[in-house]
């Protein structure tokens, strides 16, 4: 399913959407699927499923440790489709967030077909530039999948326009330069969202640096979506056992969803 209905539903309710990330395979595949479903039960509108990768340039230490543990435990690219099916069964659209080498190795057309067959919505590709994405463009169009690209405060007006034109689903606005989970929301995030809205009417979601309900409340005051990853991974990692970890993810999702609702209510 596309992510569009989830953003439209949130908009009709006068609020931003909550987007939650967890990597498949941490601490094992069944628990990661249960945690993804718990996020949805707690109030997450759109799910991001991370594919474990050996060189995750954008990810901070918390997510790096989790994805390495997943790799050590035997997680593979095909496990993403199991996770997608679980998230969709819970009632949320599911995107896969991945570094491009994994898709290239699996086969672009093959991955797109398998993702669509599992009910997935599309891909978030942090290291793939729209200018270099002809194969993905063709496959995503064929299988009706979202293409979510990243924009940053350093993006030029020309780059913003080109990225927005190539995107489908939403724009991922990076709130700060650097890796995930090591700093708070960048001061220029609101300005970046404003720049994006000057050139596109698709939803603009802010990620990198959002970890608490208060931060979610702040971002929900100006963005169409609030993306949270490290905090969910930390909740799962800190739990004494797998069931407690899933419960902690559900509770955090509920707190963040409340923060998003509070922030959305004070939008200009």
The residues carrying an active-site annotation are 48, 59
- Please give the backbone phi and psi of residue 18, each rounded to the nearest 5 degrees, phi first: -105, 125
> Taking a C-beta distance cutoff of 8 angstroms, is the pair 31, 247 a contact?
no
Helices and strands, counts by H and E, the chain: 12, 9
Characterize the bridge pairing of strands 94-97 and 122-124: parallel
> Taking a C-beta distance cutoff of 8 angstroms, is the pair 79, 29 a contact?
yes
Strand partners, 122: 95, 146
Query: 24 vs 77, 98, 203, 251, 262, CA distance in Å?
Result: 9, 11, 26, 19, 30
Query: 3-state SS of the chain: helix, strand, coil percent to 5?
Result: 50, 15, 35
- The CA radius of gyration of the chain, in Å to the nearest whole number, is 17
Query: 70 vs 24, 36, 187, CA distance in Å?
Result: 7, 15, 33
- With a CB cutoff of 8 Å and minimum separation 6, the contacts of 240 are none
From CA 159, how far away is CA 165, in angstroms rounded? Answer: 10
């Amino acid at each position: 399913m596309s992510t569009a209905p989830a953003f439209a539903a949130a908009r009709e309710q006068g609020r931003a959407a909550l987007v939650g990330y967890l990597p498949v395979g941490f601490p094992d595949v069944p628990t990661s699927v249960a945690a993804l479903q718990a996020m949805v039960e707690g109030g997450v509108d759109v799910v991001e499923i991370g594919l474990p990768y050996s060189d995750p340039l954008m990810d901070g230490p918390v997510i790096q440790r989790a994805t390495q543990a997943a790799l050590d435990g035997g997680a593979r690219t095909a496990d993403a489709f199991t996770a997608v099916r679980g998230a969709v069964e819970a009632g949320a659209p599911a995107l896969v967030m991945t570094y491009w080498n994994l898709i290239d190795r699996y086969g672009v057309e093959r991955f797109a077909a398998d993702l669509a067959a599992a009910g997935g919505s599309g891909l978030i590709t942090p290291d793939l530039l729209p200018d270099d994405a002809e194969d993905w463009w063709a496959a995503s169009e064929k299988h009706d999948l979202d293409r979510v690209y990243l924009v940053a405060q350093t993006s030029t007006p020309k780059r913003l326009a080109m990225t927005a034109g190539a995107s489908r689903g939403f724009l991922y606005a990076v709130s700060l330069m650097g890796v995930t989970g090591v700093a708070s929301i960048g001061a220029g995030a609101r300005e970046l969202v404003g720049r994006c809205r000057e050139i596109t009417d698709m939803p603009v979601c802010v990620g990198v640096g959002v970890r608490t309900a208060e931060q979610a409340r702040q971002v929900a005051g100006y963005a169409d979506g609030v993306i949270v990853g490290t905090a969910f991974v930390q909740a799962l990692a800190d739990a004494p056992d797998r069931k407690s970890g899933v419960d902690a993810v559900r509770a955090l999702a509920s707190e963040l969803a409340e923060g998003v609702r509070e922030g959305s209510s004070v939008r200009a």
